[in-house]
Chain A
Amino acid sequence: REDLWVREGKILNPEKLFFDEKGSADVQLDCKGSIIAPGFIDVQINGGFGVDFSLATDDFKSGIDLVSQKILSHGVTSFCPTLVTSPPSVYHQVLPQISVRNGGAHGAGILGAHLEGPFISREKKGAHPEHCLRTFEAGAFQDLLNTYGSLDCVRIVTLAPEMKRSSEVIRELTKRGVCVSLGHSVANLSQAEEAVQHGATFITHLFNAMLPFHHRDPGIVGLLTSDKIPAGRRVFYGMISDGIHTNPAALRIAHRAHPKGLVLVTDAIAGMGLAPGRHTLGQQVVEIDGLNTYIAGTKTLSGSVATMDTCVRHFQEATGCSIETALEAASLHPAQLLGIEQNKGTLNYDSDADFLMLNDKLYVQATYIAGQEIWRQDASGM
């Protein structure tokens, strides 16, 4: 049991306040024994509440604002709006409308876009539209830049490392501070390891849209226990723990093999937060039935309608891990992946005061950004 001290939007060291400044609290809030945790960070979310980040609509900006507002109730205080494989025109229209910004009363903070595709494998496209897939064989990085238009506010790019000239692209992206993630790929382990050596640090939704683990060639999954990772680096991997994308046993295997790399993501789509039915995911139509989200008329999974707090609870139940571990997978690890753990993802002194109050069952009761209460669960359970 401890007190949390906040001043000017940052977590404060009370000892310094007490002894050096002879100060004490101006406002005291009784948290009634709730769990206080760093705010969740979702690095893969395609939309929600009817908003699709891969659709270049006229009111795109208000769409992103709506989602950033609504996900506060799921405990998400920072996120990376994700775009699935789309034609270049979509990127050119949408990306300039996404800006990196701090969270606040208007909603969760935006850390930058996550571009999942179009430089991915045909065989593992999953829900991505085939006609938009591309390669960068001809012009490597320049091709990529032409496709996206600008990398100004791009934080993560998912690509398939077996593609020709991927090493050059990965190196260039890494040099520019963009996090490279491997996914939607048929790479074998050595191709994946090479990609990591060139700078890749993330795996997009482990197990999904990649070759299954094989004992003589573990593929991308083998990165979890690879001995070819450069010293001092850690490979992180996203997991959609909604109970559908991965069997809990597989989730447990990954967690036990490499617990410190696990990053919970929602991969939520526009239909998240709405009634079951038909919604879009970029160029595709998706049917939602309960928690299952398939490309209309198929059994191909496409995103999820899970919320981040559901993922945290499911993860904790399935693995039996401690509450701290479950919470870290949604806060500390994504912050470490993006290299922002000095400011986000922890309750360390001097970091940004983005935190949550949860009850013992890990349901979010209140969300705070920069020390201000932005959302509170009211009695009616809204």
Chain B
Amino acid sequence: MKLIILETYSQASEWAAKYIRNRIVQFGPGPGRFFTLGLPTGLPRVHPESYHSFMWNNFFKHIDISPENVHILDGNAPDLQAECDAFEEKIKAAGGIELFVGGIGPDGHIAFNEPGSSLVSRTRVKTLAMDTILANARFFDGDLSKVPTMALTVGVGTVMDAREVMILITGAHKAFALYKAIEEGVNHMWTVSAFQQHPNTVFVCDEDATLELKVKTVKYFKGLMLVHNKLVEPLYSMKETGAERSQSKKPYSD
């Protein structure tokens, strides 16, 4: 894996954004597709805390993505399992996921794959763990009874099929999960640890998230920042020629 450590939350966000931008440009999107993943069920579409509202307000309305390329699991579909299966089909039809971007929960989960989820699971309905419900209560005025208890999510196996995985981890409250994910073994209680077996993973974090790691680990990866920064400098643009763009920079192998 590549572990990218930036000092602050905004620096980590900026690094991740630049990386994603370069990857998109390199990918040379034509009829490019965009998939989005975890979605709590039961919330009406127009609820301000639904993923639709969240994605619209924080992402879609700021970019010129065409609505047919947006695929969000519909938590209000009549047959939830069919909805999940269809999602897996759409991913296949689009040629598989090129880059998966996600975060982790304080309990080490990726998407809503709660502790105990199978590491080869596919898109399905999951019951949320208390940890996750607590973490989400802040979006519902702190009222636990208002937080949905089930969610549709991509499976660990689904994400493992992506050609590249990027995980963003910021904040001290995620530090223990990060430790479990990268310094301990692969364990279905900390589902992010599955990515130790993925050929192409990038973890982007801030200083606070490294608080539970060994000093040795942190020093090693900080020392590599010179090399890793070559992934975001130069910053590519869609206006450059095809030849320049398709040079993929691989400073070293994983």
Contacts and interface: CB of A to CB of B under 8 A. Distances in A.
Interface residues of A, number: 11
Contacts of A18: 56, 60-61, 67, 70
Nearest to A25: B64
Contacts, number: 26
Interface in B17-71: 45-46, 52-53, 56, 60-61, 66-68, 70
Contact of A22 (B46, B53, B61, B68): B68
A130 to B, nearest CB: 59
Contact size range, B: 10 to 19
Contacts of B52: 15, 19
A21 B56 CA distance: 14
A102 interface: no
Interface in A16-31: 16, 18-24
A24 B46 contact: no
| Consensus secondary structure, chain A interface | helix
A24 B66 contact: yes
B129 to A, nearest CB: 28
A19 B61 contact: no
Contacts of B66: 24
Given A15-B46, A15-B52, A19-B52, A3 B67 contact: no
A14 interface: yes
Nearest to A1: B62
Contacts of B53: 15
A20 B70 CA distance: 12
Interface string B52-96: 110010001100001110101000000000000000000000000
Given A16-B46, A18-B70, A21-B67, 19 more contacts: A3-B61, A14-B56, A15-B46, A15-B53, A15-B56, A18-B56, A18-B60, A18-B61, A18-B67, A19-B45, A19-B52, A19-B56, A19-B67, A19-B70, A19-B72, A22-B68, A23-B67, A24-B66, A24-B67
Interface of A: 3, 14-16, 18-24
What are the 10 tightest A-B residue pairs by CB atom distance, in nearest-first order?
A22-B67, A15-B56, A18-B67, A19-B52, A22-B68, A24-B67, A24-B66, A18-B56, A18-B60, A19-B45
